[in-house]
Homo-oligomer: A and B are copies of this chain.
Amino acid sequence: MTDSGNGSELAQKAIRQMRMAKEAARQIAVASTEQKNEALKRMAALILENRAFLAVQNKKDLEAGRENGLSSSLLDRLELTDARIDAMADGLRQVADLPDPVGRRYDRQTRPNGLVVEKERIPLGVIGIIYESRPNVTADAAGLCFKSGNAVVLRGGSEAIHSNAAIAELLQNAVEQTGLSKEIVQFINTTDREAVNVMLKQDALIDVIIPRGGKGLIRHVAENSTIPVIKHEDGICHTYVDETADLQMAETISLNAKVQRPSVCNAMETLLAHASIAEAFLPSVCEKMAAAGVELRGCERSRQIVSGMKPASEEDWRTEYHDLILSIRVVDSLEEAVEHIETYGSHHSDAIVTRDEESARRFTQGVDSSSVFVNASTRFADGYEYGLGAEIGISTQKLHARGPMGLEELTIYKFIALGDGHIRE
């Protein structure tokens, strides 16, 4: 419950910013939907109008990145191309078009004593976003927090510091031009890692921390934060092809889940095939996977059916490849498939292909994942695909929100009770 924690100048400055965010949170919490939407559209406009400014600032990051020997894929993530600047602006306008979750009253009931109790959706308060490399997160995350009535404290990766600061400045200007306090959006403008550690202890000022980045970042945040954290971790996703599956459908779904975008968290990493269809199913799907550039790693039984596969190790079952690699295992039953998923999976997104309703029921009940699919690709685990409009991430934890998180998941409720002089006996 302390908001001190560190006496350095840097720490003091960061804490001042978080205090301002907490103060400003009260203003954005009660701002009208119209005012919030106007500010979001203004953010989009300023980003487009200041394309040249953004390019100059982004160039500084790219040059520093080249000097520091960043990999080409990291440099690619860092770059604010014209298309990406357009996408940021589009994203903000889309958020403006989404329904406002704040203020909705629901679960109204009149108690036997006449007390009327209901819930009202309210913002979480101040959301801390700690993220890496991609500068577009600055606009995307701030836009979602803003629309859901929250103040936000942004702490981006050091590689993108100039780009992030530039975007944050434009967002703040837009907020101010709409007549709201620019303190609603705070950007921690330092590459010093101390700032992250100071931030993680401010449970009196920040209500929730959302880390977005690699395993190391998320682990560091979870281990050091005294603030509640919403984690977005690995996706070790499976597709299980049941004995009654339409094998043509299973092939199409498996290929889509693996190949369409292998670098994302909802791509498939392991294909499980029931022994009774393995010989009919695996040769064709493996041929097509290989043709699409997928490296195959199989269990012993699958390697007896399809020659030329590398053996899959215990480690393979636990690995999120983020790449064109697939592990394959033959199982004797749906229960064995569920057991494999529960043992090695990450409770993210898993699918069954089956014609049998009872199999579908057993699978969706037995697999404890945030998204369970029947006859569909795991790639659908996504806020847009679920109609949330946008997503701040895909929660892999069980508290508060699971799976794709949209605006509603950036809010909570309070109870409002209306009496007429009610007292407790």
Pick from B29, B249, B372, B424: contact of A380, CB under 8 Å: B424
Cα(A223)–Cα(B222), bound, Å: 11
Contact digits for A302-342, partner B, Cβ 8 Å, 1 yes 0 no: 00000000000000000000000000000000000000001
Query: Which B residues are in CB contact (< 8 Å) with A342?
Result: 26
Cα(A55)–Cα(B5), bound, Å: 48
Closest B residue by C-beta to A413: B402
Report if A417-B373 is in contact (Cβ < 8 Å); known contacts: A399-B228, A402-B412: yes
Is residue A214 within 8 Å, beta carbon to beta carbon, of the partner chain? no
Q: Which residues 320-379 of A sit at the B interface, judged by CB distance below 8 A?
A: 342, 360, 364-366, 368-377, 379
CB–CB B398/A412 < 8 A? yes
CB–CB A417/B222 < 8 A? no
State how many residues of chain A have any CB contact under 8 Å with chain B.
Answer: 70
CB–CB B111/A424 < 8 A? no
CB–CB B386/A117 < 8 A? yes
CB distance from A381 to the nearest CB of B (A): 7
Interface-facing stretch out of A67-75, A155-163, A252-260, A278-286: A252-260
CB–CB B26/A414 < 8 A? no
Query: Which B residues are in CB contact (< 8 Å) with A29?
Result: 368
Is residue A263 within 8 Å, beta carbon to beta carbon, of the partner chain? no
CB distance from A187 to the nearest CB of B (A): 23
CB distance from A210 to the nearest CB of B (A): 11
CB–CB A387/B424 < 8 A? no
CB–CB A375/B415 < 8 A? no
CB distance from A363 to the nearest CB of B (A): 10
Is residue A423 within 8 Å, beta carbon to beta carbon, of the partner chain? yes
Contact digits for A387-425, partner B, Cβ 8 Å, 1 yes 0 no: 100000000011110111000000011111111111110
CB–CB B414/A402 < 8 A? yes
CB distance from A235 to the nearest CB of B (A): 14
| A-B CB proximity, top 9 nearest | A376-B419, A256-B423, A376-B422, A379-B424, A400-B400, A249-B421, A228-B399, A371-B415, A375-B419
Known A253-B422, A370-B414, A375-B418; further 13 A-B contacts with Cβ < 8 A: A30-B365, A117-B387, A207-B399, A364-B416, A371-B414, A372-B414, A375-B419, A375-B422, A376-B421, A376-B422, A398-B412, A400-B412, A402-B414
Residues of A within 8 A of B (CB): 1, 26, 29-30, 109, 111, 115, 117, 120, 122, 124-125, 203, 207-208, 219, 222-223, 226, 228-230, 246, 249, 252-253, 255-256, 260, 342, 360, 364-366, 368-377, 379-381, 385-387, 397-400, 402-404, 412-424
Contact sample, A vs B, 12 pairs, CB 8 Å cutoff: A125-B368, A249-B421, A253-B421, A360-B418, A371-B415, A374-B418, A375-B420, A375-B422, A380-B424, A386-B415, A399-B399, A402-B415
